[in-house]
Chain A
């Protein structure tokens, strides 16, 4: 597959504020790539630089192998779906969708054919003579997508397009967008802060944090093997501990945490005496009434919360930290207030290199232990 969009060493600085830092990103043709991060992480700025609304302070952006630095937004073969939809309030739905072709001076008959096709594609036949103010949020969203697609862009940029919709509609539109992307085989670059949305729709996710991409990988990889503490906590729920690798036996490392020792499967790039974090998803956590080999955690069962298919269990460690454990409903479990020993399969936990500023925290933990 070809790289359709390439960002090389892109920086964006507003005054003294560096919003995007040395960003390198390659988007492959036909993929659904999501830029995921909380607000202010630089994801929208990145998208706007690709669209041409913002200029990178340094670095280059290539679309289809061509440097687009000197190109105006209207000269780039990418189109955008805006968060606010940005429909032209003074034009009908038909005129809105036709706009891209009209400014290119395409013949009226052709415009009509394309617009009707687009209306068909987004299932809005019969709405052509309405005005944007007469549509619901979901319908406006479809118009915005149809309008952006009529130019047959190589890349479609979507800036939190579902942000303003209610939950149910959002779920429905997620599937529809994915279907559309597969059908048209267009590259989608999708910006969102909703991790669930990113996991559902994307081929690859770039998790952004503070102007930097922390991890760029498939949803499964991101969920199961987070590279940084931020990624681990941002995507899904997790239990995370800082500690120090005290021994490595074969594939299994022993980590000493503040509350005791645990075992984790150790990738090759970790070494003994390194400070590291351990992340375990709640559904991978287990607890036993007896002590398990390789695990020194002791906790007290605090509460059970019933959430449909699973039971959420909250247990507290001696230092007051709480752990979340998910169990299938209907299993026999220790009583609230009783003592338990949390553990997990060493393969189910993820070891994460600790970023420098956490070291002191980790060191403290060791001392206390």
Chain B
């Protein structure tokens, strides 16, 4: 009995330390966003201020970078989700030549270091003279997001009863109607999970974007640029706002999911 209690306390302390480890740098970011320091590298504490949250709105290049990140993330998530969902279902249902090869290629963005994918896209874009910018960023993001969507949808497809699609065709719905009314809704959790992962990967990506961005800077690239001289507290302020935004988003969506499940 006594032994059990001790191990229980040990568990809690251990987990607490891991969580502290995970959240520590975030605490630093949040605290520093209120730091009144004005001198690089903005590390020492000079008192509390909300100035950075106001100054943030006049830092047009930072806001533009954030806007770019959101545009790229939304477009590439939508594209990757659409392409990945169709592909997962198509590869589940149809046999075709070269399927094994495509299957193998899908694992590449998942396993090889991002830097290799980044430089390979860089060499391709420079070889065929595609100007680097928004377009190349979106292409790159779609490329590394698609496999993650496919794997998520595929996980949902195991245990999927093909006959519900046949039932839909049988009842008079054509293939397109069947896809939207039966296949998609049933696979929705997998599609949603894949889209969420794609979005997360896209907004956080530094390495691949770093090689293909041209003049279009994303928010992570903007951060990377400022790392050398010291990240200004307004970047911390924006990060804090993003963090709050994502937490609200998680509570809204996950809370909803939990409720639906229990129903």
Q: Is A325 an interface residue (CB 8 A)?
A: no
Minimum CB–CB distance from A84 to chain B (whole Å) comes to 5
B172:A53 contact, CB within 8 angstroms: no
- Residue on A nearest B184 in the bound complex, by CB: A90
B186:A90 contact, CB within 8 angstroms: yes
Q: Is A89 an interface residue (CB 8 A)?
A: yes
Give the CA-CA distance A86 to B160 in the complex, in Å.
11
From A12-20, A99-107, A349-357, give the one contacting chain B: A99-107
Which of B172, B177, B181, B186 is close to A89, meaning CB atoms less than 8 Å apart?
B186
Q: A89-B186, A90-B186 are in contact. Are A73 and B163 (CB under 8 A)?
A: no
Minimum CB–CB distance from A161 to chain B (whole Å) comes to 12
Interface bits A80-94 vs B (CB < 8 Å: 1, else 0): 101110111110000
- Residue on B nearest A78 in the bound complex, by CB: B170
Interface bits B158-181 vs A (CB < 8 Å: 1, else 0): 000101101111111110010001
Minimum CB–CB distance from A191 to chain B (whole Å) comes to 14
Q: Is B182 an interface residue (CB 8 A)?
A: yes
Give the CA-CA distance A147 to B172 in the complex, in Å.
12
Q: Is B185 an interface residue (CB 8 A)?
A: yes
- Residue on B nearest A76 in the bound complex, by CB: B170
B172:A87 contact, CB within 8 angstroms: no
Give the CA-CA distance A88 to B170 in the complex, in Å.
13
Q: A88-B186, A89-B186 are in contact. Are A148 and B171 (CB under 8 A)?
A: yes
Give the CA-CA distance A104 to B166 in the complex, in Å.
17
B171:A79 contact, CB within 8 angstroms: yes
B172:A151 contact, CB within 8 angstroms: yes
B186:A79 contact, CB within 8 angstroms: no
Minimum CB–CB distance from A11 to chain B (whole Å) comes to 22
Q: Is A74 an interface residue (CB 8 A)?
A: yes
Taking CB atoms and an 8 Å cut-off, the chain A residues in 48-105 that contact chain B are 51-53, 72-74, 78-80, 82-84, 86-90, 99-100, 103-104
B167:A80 contact, CB within 8 angstroms: yes
Contacts of B188 in A (CB 8 A): 90
B171:A82 contact, CB within 8 angstroms: no
- Residue on B nearest A99 in the bound complex, by CB: B171
Minimum CB–CB distance from A106 to chain B (whole Å) comes to 11
Which of A78, A79, A86 is close to B161, meaning CB atoms less than 8 Å apart?
A86
Contacts of A52 in B (CB 8 A): 169-170
Contacts of B177 in A (CB 8 A): 103
Which of B161, B163, B172, B186 is close to A103, meaning CB atoms less than 8 Å apart?
B172
Contacts of B164 in A (CB 8 A): 86-89
Give the CA-CA distance A35 to B185 in the complex, in Å.
35
Give the CA-CA distance A99 to B172 in the complex, in Å.
9
Contacts of B161 in A (CB 8 A): 84, 86
A82:B172 contact, CB within 8 angstroms: no
Taking CB atoms and an 8 Å cut-off, the chain A residues in 136-168 that contact chain B are 147-148, 151
Minimum CB–CB distance from A274 to chain B (whole Å) comes to 47
B185:A90 contact, CB within 8 angstroms: yes
Which of A51, A74, A89 is close to B173, meaning CB atoms less than 8 Å apart?
A74
Which of A51, A84, A89, A104 is close to B170, meaning CB atoms less than 8 Å apart?
A51
Contacts of A104 in B (CB 8 A): 172
B182:A82 contact, CB within 8 angstroms: no
Which of B166, B185, B186 is close to A73, meaning CB atoms less than 8 Å apart?
B166
Can you list 29 A-B contacts (CB < 8 A)? A51-B166, A51-B170, A52-B170, A53-B166, A72-B169, A72-B174, A74-B171, A74-B172, A80-B167, A82-B166, A83-B163, A84-B163, A86-B163, A86-B167, A87-B167, A88-B167, A88-B186, A89-B164, A89-B186, A90-B185, A90-B186, A90-B188, A100-B171, A100-B172, A103-B173, A103-B177, A103-B181, A147-B171, A148-B171
10 extra interchain contacts, Cβ-Cβ under 8 A, other than A86-B164, A90-B188? A52-B170, A53-B169, A73-B169, A79-B171, A80-B170, A86-B161, A87-B167, A89-B164, A103-B177, A104-B172
8 shortest interchain CB distances as A-B pairs:
A100-B171, A86-B163, A86-B167, A73-B169, A103-B173, A90-B185, A86-B164, A82-B163
